Structure 1
Amino acid sequence: MTRRSIGIIVNGVTGRMGYRQHLVRSLLAIRDEGGVPLPDGDRIWPELVLVGRSEHRLREVAERHGLTDWTTDLTAALARDDVAVYFDAQVTQQREKAIRQAIEAGRHVYTEKPLAESAVAATELARAAEAAGVRTGVVQDKLFLPGLRKLKRLVDGGFFGRILSVRGEFGYWVFEGDWQPAQRPSWNYRAADGGGITMDMFPHWHYLLEELFAPVRAVTCVTATHIPERVDETGHRYRATADDAAYGIFELDGGVVAQLNSSWCVRVNRDELVEFQVDGTEGSAVAGLRSCRVQHRAVTPKPVWNPDLPATEDFRARWTEVPDNEEYDNGFKVQWAAFLRHVVAGEPFRWDFHAGARGVALAEAGLRSAREGRRIEVAGVGR
């Protein structure tokens, strides 16, 4: 076995997502396992360069995990000959400039979503990367969640027959920050800082709908800022200017209709923080982060509407759990491994910057629909 080292700049490692999902649960976990295996028996070994704006916080993260290579100077890090990949988990507003800098330095780029603040900017990044000959990837982690992989298995196996509709609920109550600390950073609720749940979640909905069912052709959306005032990390009150809820109807190729609600102002009364119900002519399924339950047409009950009598049917008990049939690893880690194999061994990787640009285009279309109060066609945008 030969260890193939690859230098990776990890920018934004002091943030919640960059630290937990990408550093600890992906890159360090890959190192703990001896690297990413290749078909020839070699292993890809990530050599990490931590980058951020706070010297104190970077040092603390590095010391916690026995890492020594860190800097607040991104330009110097990108100029190093031993670095091949740039990863970005910064706030959205900082991302485009840093990615352009990485492309100009000839580095392959992997990034959190959204890729940029506009579809035009995202598409320009995709074209710049192609012109520079660098490989790109955008995090699309929910495709690798156990519940949604089981759902994909059902779709591929023809379980649903003709798919009619998709209904999704995502969200939870994010505390305002006064009497209990908020679970999300305050910039999420300021439009000037790139906040808003539509731009945060619609890129996710785009790749899930596109890969599981069919491309999105039109969207109708209503957004809201339900909580007008919040308290930031320092205890100061501020006006929330970004949307904290988005209610969307997505029309897909083939006549499938998807209704997806995204909200940071909803109390959870479901088994998981996100759930999707898919209904088809032959059967239905309800999938969450980990579980997936199904009901076939042959065992579908025949309820009769009668509001004068109490309901006695236990409808949920008639659904069957889909078995795992395989082991599921952390979704972020799985996609990281796939991207590293793409860079080192040239294996296919379809979640590139063009895919990320299509997600941004859908978010823009949703915001435009909400602003103009009408249905927006999105066919061909970002493709």
Structure 2
Amino acid sequence: MMTKNIGIIMNGVTGRMGTNQHLIRSIVAIRNEGGVNLANGEKLLPDPILVGRNEHKLRALAEAHGIERWSTDLDACLQDEYNQIYFDSQTTVRRAESIKQAIAAGKDIYCEKPTATSFEESVELAKLAQEAGVKNGVVQDKLFLPGLLKLKRLVDAGFFGKLLSVRMEFGYWVFEGDWQEGQRPSWNYRKEDGGGIIVDMFAHWRYVIDNLFGEVRSVSCLGVTHIDERFDEQGHAYQATADDAAYATFELDNGVIVQANSSWAVRVNRDDLLTIQVDGTEGSAVAGLRDCKAQHRVNTPKAVWNPDIENPHDFLAQWDDVPGNQVFDNGFKVQWELFLKHVVEDAAFPWDLFEGAKGTQLSELGLQSWAERRWVDVPDIQA
């Protein structure tokens, strides 16, 4: 079997997400499996070059995972014709400028979200890539989670009948950093550094909602900074200037109502860090990251409000597990494989920079709704 290499510039993978999900569990995993199977019977082997500002971190990361190439010179990497794809998982404030450089160099683009710090710039990136004729894609990893894939199967099968509403609960307690180290980087809590849960999570909620339930048409959002002082990686106290919780309602074009609570200041009393309950006329389902439970109309118990007696129902036991019926691979890796096939053999890949811009748009409109304390409509994006 023939194997061919494809050079990939990986910028910003020394961060937690870039290292764990994109490098180790995606690119290194694909390399260890011998590459991606192409339609013509060949294998496509990713050949990454790790790029960043910290030479020590790059060298250590490359050596730890058998990567031969690394560099602190992005311009030189972009000028090398061998490198066909540019991938970016830097902090959001650095992303757009580097992507513009890569587009100008004729590289195909794959990147994390948000794609830019503003909706205007995220659309600019999409149009620049379109005009340059380079293939492009945005990471939309939650679509490939086992729990959401099972939920999508129910939607596609018509299990719910008429969709009525969706309730999304996301979050966990992120330690403040004084007596226990925080699980998230300190910049997440500084607005001036691109932090905030609305900017972070609404990019996810946009593609999840659009792809599973219907197009978002309006939003009402309240953001809050519940914890106003945190401690950074060096143990120094700082003022949290970004929102750490958001309470939002979305109205979809098909009339479905979505309520989404997102918080880094909530203790978990549910099955998973993310749960999505979908209610319809014929049935309901609750999905987490990996599992999904369903309850059909004919199996729905008749609940009666009566606070004067002990609850006769074990409500949690009245749901049936949705079977996997397949092997679920890492979601980041699955999307990487799809993008590589898109670049090399033009396989379908609908999650482009315009789709990424929708996430940035919803974040901005959520922030606007919060600031103006009103519903805000979501206009179509003109490609």
TM-score normalised by L of structure 1: 0.99
Counterparts of residues 210-229 of structure 1 (less than 5 Å)? 210-229=210-229
Alignment of 1:154 with 2:154, yes or no, is yes
Q: Which residue of 2 aligns with 1:373?
A: 373
Rounded to whole Å, the distance in 2 between the matches of 1:311 and 1:165 is 26
Counterparts of residues 130-145 of structure 1 (less than 5 Å)? 130-145=130-145
Rounded to whole Å, the distance in 2 between the matches of 1:187 and 1:99 is 21
Alignment of 1:63 with 2:63, yes or no, is yes
Q: Which residue of 1 aligns with 2:125?
A: 125
Rounded to whole Å, the distance in 2 between the matches of 1:325 and 1:288 is 17
Q: What letter corresponds to residue 368 of structure 1 in structure 2?
A: Q
Q: Which residue of 2 aligns with 1:198?
A: 198
Aligned residues of 1:285 and 1:293 also touching (Cα < 8 A):
yes
* Segments of 4+ moved more than 4 angstroms: none
- CA deviations on 1:296-346 (whole Å, 9 max, x unpaired) are 010100011011222121011110000001111000000000000000111
Q: Which residue of 1 aligns with 2:85?
A: 85
Rounded to whole Å, the distance in 2 between the matches of 1:48 and 1:302 is 57
Offset of residue 382 of structure 1: 6.0
- CA deviations on 1:109-130 (whole Å, 9 max, x unpaired) are 1000001111110000000001
Offset of residue 187 of structure 1: 0.5
Q: Which residue of 1 aligns with 2:270?
A: 270
Q: Which residue of 2 aligns with 1:295?
A: 295
Q: What letter corresponds to residue 249 of structure 1 in structure 2?
A: T
Offset of residue 159 of structure 1: 0.2
Q: Which residue of 1 aligns with 2:321?
A: 321
Rounded to whole Å, the distance in 1 between the matches of 2:101 and 2:81 is 15
Aligned residues of 1:165 and 1:280 also touching (Cα < 8 A):
yes
Offset of residue 39 of structure 1: 1.6
Q: Which residue of 2 aligns with 1:167?
A: 167
Q: What letter corresponds to residue 54 of structure 1 in structure 2?
A: N
- CA deviations on 1:152-186 (whole Å, 9 max, x unpaired) are 00000000000000000001000000000000000
In the alignment, structure 2 segments of 5+ residues that lack a partner are: none
Q: Which residue of 2 aligns with 1:350?
A: 350
Q: What letter corresponds to residue 320 of structure 1 in structure 2?
A: D
Q: What letter corresponds to residue 208 of structure 1 in structure 2?
A: V
Alignment RMSD (CA, Å):
0.8
Secondary structure of 1:85's counterpart equals strand
Q: What letter corresponds to residue 136 of structure 1 in structure 2?
A: N
Rounded to whole Å, the distance in 1 between the matches of 2:68 and 2:380 is 46
Secondary structure of 1:121's counterpart equals helix
Secondary structure of 2:220's counterpart equals strand
Q: Which residue of 1 aligns with 2:306?
A: 306
Secondary structure of 1:23's counterpart equals helix
Counterparts of residues 97-116 of structure 1 (less than 5 Å)? 97-116=97-116
In the alignment, structure 1 segments of 5+ residues that lack a partner are: none
Q: What letter corresponds to residue 151 of structure 1 in structure 2?
A: L
Secondary structure of 1:359's counterpart equals helix
Offset of residue 199 of structure 1: 0.8
Rounded to whole Å, the distance in 2 between the matches of 1:199 and 1:227 is 17
Secondary structure of 1:84's counterpart equals strand
Rounded to whole Å, the distance in 1 between the matches of 2:332 and 2:348 is 17
Percent identical? 60
Secondary structure of 1:160's counterpart equals coil
Offset of residue 381 of structure 1: 4.2
Q: How many residues align?
A: 383
- CA deviations on 1:82-102 (whole Å, 9 max, x unpaired) are 100000000000000100010
Rounded to whole Å, the distance in 2 between the matches of 1:82 and 1:274 is 40
- CA deviations on 1:262-321 (whole Å, 9 max, x unpaired) are 100000011111000000000000001000000001010001101122212101111000
Alignment of 1:182 with 2:182, yes or no, is yes
- CA deviations on 1:10-65 (whole Å, 9 max, x unpaired) are 11111000000000000000001110101221111101100011111111111111
Rounded to whole Å, the distance in 1 between the matches of 2:46 and 2:39 is 18
Aligned residues of 1:358 and 1:382 also touching (Cα < 8 A):
no
Aligned residues of 1:342 and 1:348 also touching (Cα < 8 A):
yes
